[in-house]
Amino acid sequence: MQIITVHADDGYPVFVGDDVLTQVVDYIPSNASQVLLVAPRAVETIAEKLQTAAAARGVRLTQFIPEDGEAQKTLSTAESLWNLLGEKRFGRQDVIIGLGGGATTDLAGFVAATWMRGIGVLQVPTSLLAMVDAAVGGKTGINSPAGKNLIGAFHSPIAVGISISALTTLSAAEYRAGLGEVIKCGFIADRKILNLIVENPLIKDVEWATEVGKDILTELISRAVEVKATVVSQDLKETGLREILNYGHTLAHAIEKYSNYTVRHGEAVAIGSVFAAELAQDLGYLSENDVDQHRKIFSSVGLPTSWDGPIEPLLDAMYSDKKTHGSQLRFVLLEGVEKPSSIEVSPDAILRTWAGRHA
């Protein structure tokens, strides 16, 4: 087992191992008398294990089963959770456990951040995407009709437990979507991630990755978490540096919203990162080879690299992006692998690149 420490707020450990549920349960504060477990039906087997472990600790556990996927990141689900916390008389010392994919850890974290102005949350990610990204770093939130993740709070967890064995029940498509965020980390801060993926093409196959390739998968997960931990430890509230974790997300969030969340987050990040590379090439920061590298690596793991819908509604949605300053759109662009920065981009430049790639 490996422990990666995030130095934000009080600091917290991220446990990475085959099965680290016990380590997470050990972090339930000793004065907590109850725990709210937020977990979708897809991870019921792990939820049962957590219930047994919590019972052994003498805490009362209530489980809330949200709708699956992005549909749970809504105000009405958050309200149901607040009502449940009130009904069960949850106090400041009690905690929430978010068990599931990134949608669940975002929701559970947001409810923990807002109940009584903030109670503890333990994050137990079960999708690859949540392991390498969503459960770590303290960004929590829900969506609104105005856009994705527009309502939320920074709320660091007490601890995060990444049990690699959880991935054995994850679908092939969800697993590949998680690789989108892993590759993003490679481009912004760790070229070894890109090398590992190129050297191990079978990594795209979740069965291979969780059996024969388990050591490589574990290294990829740990490296991606290290990237996130290093950035978040320096800039928890995204005053600058943290924006690099948003590589590919300006377009990705617009595509997710426009497609009514039928495009997976990790798939949208792959499309958005390739577009960011094309934009960087048009603006003179990257070469054609760099753009090819983006297309090849994302498509090598079965991720999409382009989007066929119209650009106008996407451009409109991009103006709700949190990196926007006033009316000025900003993109995270690369000047090379491991060289990200946040750059103001005109709508004309976006339209030109979009038109060029469809020529």
Ligand X SMILES: O=C(O)C(=O)C[C@@H](O)[C@H](O)[C@H](O)COP(=O)(O)O
Ligand Y SMILES: NC(=O)c1ccc[n+]([C@@H]2O[C@H](COP(=O)([O-])OP(=O)(O)OC[C@H]3O[C@@H](n4cnc5c(N)ncnc54)[C@H](O)[C@@H]3O)[C@@H](O)[C@H]2O)c1
- Answer yes or no: 181 catalytic: yes
Asked if residue 67 belongs to a known ligand binding site, the reply is no
In order of 113, 124, 249, 346, the CA distances from 152 in angstroms are 8, 19, 17, 28
Residue 34, strand partner residues: 60
Contact with ligand X (CB under 6 A) among 164, 185, 245, 311: 245
Which range, of 85-93, 102-110, 270-278, 323-331, touches ligand Y by CB under 6 A?
Answer: 102-110
Long-range contacts (CB closer than 8 Å, 24 or more residues apart) made by 311-315 = 311/350, 311/351, 311/354, 313/254, 313/258, 314/251, 314/254, 314/255, 314/258, 315/254, 315/347, 315/350, 315/351
Asked if residue 42 belongs to a known ligand binding site, the reply is no
Are 226 and 190 within 8 A, CB to CB? yes
151 Cβ contact list (under 8 Å, min separation 6): 75, 110, 141, 142, 143, 144
Asked if residue 73 belongs to a known ligand binding site, the reply is yes
Active-site residue among 242, 264, 294, 330? 242
- Answer yes or no: 92 catalytic: no
HEC string of 5-30 equals EECCCCCEEEEEECCCHHHHHCCCCC
Distance CA 47, CA 52 (A): 9
- Answer yes or no: 246 catalytic: yes
Are 54 and 48 within 8 A, CB to CB? no
Q: How far is the CB of 135 from ligand X (least distance, A)?
A: 10
Identify the residue whose tokens are 């974290």: 109
Q: How far is the CB of 39 from ligand Y (least distance, A)?
A: 9
Residues 246-275 vs ligand X: string with x where CB under 6 A? x--x--------------------------
Contact with ligand Y (CB under 6 A) among 13, 66, 98, 137: 137
Active-site residue among 204, 223, 228, 330? 228
Packed helices 172-189 and 191-199: angle between N→C axes, nearest 10 degrees: 140
Are 20 and 162 within 8 A, CB to CB? yes
Asked if residue 127 belongs to a known ligand binding site, the reply is yes
Q: How far is the CB of 106 from ligand Y (least distance, A)?
A: 5
Contact with ligand Y (CB under 6 A) among 2, 17, 65, 68: 68
Residues 321-340 vs ligand X: string with x where CB under 6 A? -x------------------
**H-type helices in 172-287, by residue range?**
172-189, 191-199, 206-210, 214-234, 249-258, 265-282
- Whose Cβ is closer to ligand Y: residue 128's or residue 286's? 128
242 binds, among ligand X, ligand Y, none (CB under 5 to 8 A by kind): ligand X
**In angstroms, how far is CA 92 from the centroid of its own chain?**
27
69 touches ligand Y by CB under 6 A? yes
Asked if residue 339 belongs to a known ligand binding site, the reply is no
- Whose Cβ is closer to ligand X: residue 137's or residue 340's? 137
Q: Which residues contribute to the site for ligand X (CB under 6 A)?
A: 133, 137, 139, 149, 181, 238, 242, 245-246, 249, 322
- What are the catalytic residues? 117, 139, 181, 228, 238, 242, 246, 249, 253, 265
- Give the interface with ligand Y as residue ranges (CB under 6 A): 40, 42-43, 68-70, 73, 100-104, 106, 126-127, 129-130, 133-134, 137, 139, 149, 166, 169-170, 174, 177, 264-266
